[in-house]
Structure 1
Amino acid sequence: MSSYFTSNITVANRAIGGRSSRSFIEQGRLAAIHQVIKAGDYLFVQFGHNDATVSNPERYTSPADYKEYLRNDYIRATRARGATPVVVTPVSRRSYNATTGKFNVSFPAYVDAAKAVAQEEGAPLVDLSAASRAYLDGIGVEASKGIFLWLTAGQYPNFPDGVQDNTHFQERGAVEMARLVARAVAGLGLPLSGEVVPGAR
């Protein structure tokens, strides 16, 4: 992400796998951010994948509760510290219509909730759901394997038997998603928008 912004910007990635909007709070991770965040900073908030895991009670957060966590804990509490929250809709999974080859909206209830709370609170919104889906539609179903963690046996030491993962990204995919976020930020009209490098636009 930092490579898509000028050297004036420092990116502190506090994301961690397997957390939902609720468990990130319950584990004290948001509080740790709020202890150091300051006026002029930005907090990019993207949850939804783990919130939707109904089978895991430690993660699962209903769309209605997710919306209120975003509102109260991420948007309002961040603003109270003088920083700017930016709501990011859930990124697409490798899920597509086999007939049309077009990618499906992943976690639609969470996408809708994120959009709604951003509008209600007047918070900047990066619609990564739409941007990532448009990108995947553009490269196609087969090429999308090179974005997600689809590996053959022996291709990568951590996956000696190969893997077919339609949720997590290879490095190339992560870089492309970061570029999409930066490009969206360039159009938000924020002070940060002017710090996006031309290569991301």
Structure 2
Amino acid sequence: IKPRERSKLNWDDKLTLEFNGDTPQLTELIIERIENVPTVFLCGNSTVVDQDNEPWASWGQMVPRFFTDSICFANYAESGESANTFIAAGRLKKALTQMKSGDYIFMEFGHNDQKQKGPGKGAFYSFMTSLKTFVDEARARGVYPVLVTPTQRRSFDENGKIKDTHLDFPDAVRWLAEKENIPLIDLHAMTRILYEAMGVEESKHAFVHYPANTYPGQDKPLADNTHFNPYGAYQIAKCVIEGMKQAGLPLVKYLRTDNEGYDPACPDARETFKWNESPFTELEKPDGN
């Protein structure tokens, strides 16, 4: 694991639960092992990983909120990873040891993959080969693969339109999904609509943009156009849910009854979003961009 991971609670031998809110209450907690529910394994980078500290967040940690306890989510994503480095670090191998027939594996890569240069690198070369490895390993175990195109960066042109910064990596994901008959969630397309609907200035409130002294020890402004804050991550998680519906994934039957349809062209008003912040903060941005 990377040095920054060593302090994460994922790697100790304990189960740590954090309760936040105005009046957090817990009457009873019972933990039982259950073997017969499907599990959705999430693989990806910093836009997917469980972000431990404020003000960072990802869609991967928000998605479980929309589902009942009849399905499980296992987030294996890690900041800074590309499809090939995820495999090389043994993360896919570890996840495969936990998978069973009927589970799902979601893969969202591209942000960091596009920075790799040299012979054999590129969207339709090493990237495609790595994604195909995920797909083949999953299918060999009766696991259903789902491909996810990378989320857009907050990068506007002079006309208030999002500029494509991922080269041909989203197209490579779409091509592989069609060739291999794999369900596709096109977050690249949906987040373009979402950010443009928000606009140049309002979209800052979906990312880690905060003036100096917003958080303890923060003596400089935070201005990150790749990583989301909780509000932004929540909106993108809603995009993922809509993508599941559009792809006809059977797991949507596990959605909670309070889940309504979502149109990225009409994002939730920021003022209606309630988030009880964790007392833990981190000023250093996640690995990857």
Q: TM-score of the superposition, structure 2-length normalised?
A: 0.64
Q: Which has the higher helix share?
A: 1
User: Which residue, out of 74, 97, 118, partners 1:35?
Assistant: 97
Stretches of structure 1 lacking an aligned partner (at least 5 in a row) = none
State the distance in 2 between where 1:158 and 1:26 align. Answer: 36
1:177 aligns with 2:239: no
Q: Within 5 A, what are the aligned runs for 1:31-180?
A: 31-54=93-116, 61-64=121-124, 65-71=126-132, 73-98=133-158, 100-157=159-216, 159-180=218-239
What is the SS of the residue equivalent to 2:161? coil
* Structure 1 residue 54 displacement after superposition: 3.7
* Structure 1 residue 159 displacement after superposition: 3.8
Q: Do 1:179 and 1:200's aligned partners in 2 also have CA atoms closer than 8 Å?
A: no
What is the SS of the residue equivalent to 1:134? helix
* Structure 1 residue 180 displacement after superposition: 0.7
Cα gap change, 1:143/1:85 in structure 2, threshold over 3 Å: closer, same or farther?
same
State the distance in 2 between where 1:181 and 1:170 align. Answer: 16
Give the counterpart letter for 2:88 in structure 1. Answer: E
Number of the residue aligned with 1:5 = 67
* Structure 1 residue 105 displacement after superposition: 2.6
* Structure 1 residue 190 displacement after superposition: 2.1
* Structure 1 residue 85 displacement after superposition: 0.8
Which of structures 1 and 2 has the larger relative contact order (alpha carbons within 8 angstroms, sep 6+)? Answer: 2
What is the SS of the residue equivalent to 1:122? coil
* Structure 1 residue 39 displacement after superposition: 1.0
Number of the residue aligned with 1:14 = 76
The total of aligned residue pairs comes to 196
Q: Do 1:21 and 1:61's aligned partners in 2 also have CA atoms closer than 8 Å?
A: no
Q: Which structure: larger Rg? A: 2
Q: Do 1:45 and 1:88's aligned partners in 2 also have CA atoms closer than 8 Å?
A: yes
Cα gap change, 1:129/1:40 in structure 2, threshold over 3 Å: closer, same or farther?
same
State the distance in 2 between where 1:158 and 1:178 align. Answer: 30
Q: Do 1:182 and 1:200's aligned partners in 2 also have CA atoms closer than 8 Å?
A: no
Give the counterpart letter for 2:150 in structure 1. Answer: P
Number of the residue aligned with 2:245 = 186
* Structure 1 residue 170 displacement after superposition: 0.9
Give the counterpart letter for 2:110 in structure 1. Answer: G
What is the SS of the residue equivalent to 2:209? strand
Stretches of structure 2 lacking an aligned partner (at least 5 in a row) = 1-62, 262-289
Q: Do 2:209 and 2:223's aligned partners in 1 also have CA atoms closer than 8 Å?
A: yes
Q: TM-score of the superposition, structure 1-length normalised?
A: 0.91
Q: Do 1:6 and 1:195's aligned partners in 2 also have CA atoms closer than 8 Å?
A: yes
CA RMSD of aligned residues (A): 1.8
